[in-house]
Structure 1
Amino acid sequence: MAQARASTTELVVAAAARVFLAKGYQASTMADIAREANISKPTVYQYVQSKQWLLDTIVSLVSEELERCGQVIHTADAPANARLRWLIRVHVAFAVRYRNSYRVTFSEQAALSPAARQEFKQWAKRTTSKFVDLLAECRQEGTLDWPRDIEVAGNLILSTLTSVHRWFFPDGRRMTEELLVEYIEHLLSGVITESDMPSWPMPELPMSPFEDPQGDEAVLVRRSPAR
């Protein structure tokens, strides 16, 4: 698979994510973003439309890439609890590799434009529905010990995954992606049965591989819709 390459626009979007995270969306300016991207303010407008467009784009990139990876996992030929653990790993990977964009996505939803907010709500609804269906598969195959409302379980687990950004701070206590996965899986160990993971290798996922030369996180790259 050929690697996607980040454009100048995508690098400006990545710079905006760093600024929004550091200053908050409302307090950030296009001048701040231009400075972070090491280009002039007039040049910024050659690549992006507005501060609002930047926030909407960050959230769109994260949700689209998560959904793309999730679709690969949901349709994989593997037991349900193996697919569930893969989804956990994907969310953790996003929280670590794309931490600025991920944290902005789940902390600045109130500042989204009406259209972007509606799209995000629809994405969240689809994501939750598919996750709950997967948990139902786990329960049917006997690998999920949850006798109560399966939607409650789905919302609890997803809330845990999407709140990783609130306490994962790589500049403070060092924590690797693997350790994050271990913590979350330990949290779920009382209700989810271990799967024979070596027998079910995780499928190749379309995660953006481009490293930001001004930071240490990967840059999300806009992709063409899958055919």
Structure 2
Amino acid sequence: MPDTTPKPKRELPRREQPRREQIHEVASRLFSERGYHATSMRELAGELGMQGGSLYAHISGKEDLLVQIVNRASQQFDEALLSLRDVNLPADEKLREAMHRHILVVADNMDSATVFFHEWKHLSPEAYTRVTGWRDSIDHFYRDLVTEGMRTGLFRPDLDVKMAALLILSTVNWTYTWFHPQGTLTPRDVADGFADMLLSGLRAR
């Protein structure tokens, strides 16, 4: 049977926000829901209650918006994760906290996270290169955590560091496809559940 549940109405951008922030918020939502290529500047202007040409007083174009969304998302992940490098915690506890912070960024920014992980492939070559550079830095962050755990005897000495880091990244990054911020699970619940399963395979016997 078709789903007849009434769909919640989308809130209009908050008027107290600066105009540029309103544009960023609505663009994140539309790119997330419809995709970057399927969203026109006219549709974006209509959602904002603006004339199409008025948008260009705030941005240079649609790709400029995509670059801004992707750059802001990467900065949020950097601020959440990279500060953990100098935290005095065992590698297993640090990994658990990293997964929580990673998932929390996704949960608090579902639209922009969806754009970041799904629409970044539409960036121009220069911006695309910056995103792949970011992905490499986060990959190395998780590889370093695994290596630290192996060095301190917490993790198995025979681990494939690259594969372990890819498994962790795939687990936390993919939450944007299914996590519901209004659901019964919190980001901490999800992170702890994933960490328990992953650490059972990583820890030394």
Report TM bin, short chain: 0.7 to 0.9
Match of residue 134 from structure 1: 145
More displaced 10-residue stretch of structure 1: 19-28 or 33-42: 33-42
Q: 1:170 offset after TM fit, Å?
A: 4.4
Among 188, 193, 200, the alignment partner of 2:198 is 188
Matches within 5 A, 1:29-178: 29-145=40-156, 147-170=158-181, 174-178=184-188
| AA at the equivalent of 2:42 | A
Distance in 1 (CA, whole Å) between partners of 2:72 and 2:24 is 10
TM-score of the pair, normalised by structure 1: 0.75
Given that residues 48 and 54 in structure 1 are in contact (C-alpha distance below 8 angstroms), is that contact kept between their aligned partners in structure 2?
yes
Report Cα offsets for 1:133-163 as digits up to 9, x if no partner.
1110012222223623111101111111111
Distance in 2 (CA, whole Å) between partners of 1:103 and 1:114 is 20
Highest Rg: 1 or 2?
2
| AA at the equivalent of 1:108 | E
Q: 1:112 offset after TM fit, Å?
A: 1.0
CA-atom RMSD in angstroms: 2.1
| AA at the equivalent of 2:89 | A
Given that residues 132 and 150 in structure 1 are in contact (C-alpha distance below 8 angstroms), is that contact kept between their aligned partners in structure 2?
yes
Given that residues 146 and 191 in structure 1 are in contact (C-alpha distance below 8 angstroms), is that contact kept between their aligned partners in structure 2?
no
Distance in 1 (CA, whole Å) between partners of 2:20 and 2:157 is 45
Percent identical residues: 25
Among 3, 16, 37, the alignment partner of 1:26 is 37
Report Cα offsets for 1:173-212 as digits up to 9, x if no partner.
553223322332233141355xxxxxxxxxxxxxxxxxxx
Match of residue 217 from structure 1: none
Given that residues 76 and 105 in structure 2 are in contact (C-alpha distance below 8 angstroms), is that contact kept between their aligned partners in structure 1?
no
TM-score of the pair, normalised by structure 2: 0.83
| AA at the equivalent of 2:194 | I
Given that residues 146 and 153 in structure 1 are in contact (C-alpha distance below 8 angstroms), is that contact kept between their aligned partners in structure 2?
no
- Alignment: residue pair count: 188
Given that residues 31 and 41 in structure 1 are in contact (C-alpha distance below 8 angstroms), is that contact kept between their aligned partners in structure 2?
yes
Q: Which runs of 5+ in 2 are unaligned?
A: 1-15
Q: 1:104 offset after TM fit, Å?
A: 0.8
More displaced 10-residue stretch of structure 1: 146-155 or 35-44: 35-44
Q: Which has the higher contact order (CA 8 A, sep 6+)?
A: 1
Given that residues 149 and 155 in structure 2 are in contact (C-alpha distance below 8 angstroms), is that contact kept between their aligned partners in structure 1?
yes
Matches within 5 A, 1:202-221: none
Relative to 1, partners in 2 of residues 1:66 and 1:179: Cα closer, same or farther, differing over 3 Å?
same
Distance in 1 (CA, whole Å) between partners of 2:69 and 2:140 is 23
Name the one with the larger helix percent.
2
Q: 1:46 offset after TM fit, Å?
A: 1.5
| AA at the equivalent of 1:144 | F
Q: Which runs of 5+ in 1 are unaligned?
A: 194-227
| AA at the equivalent of 2:200 | G
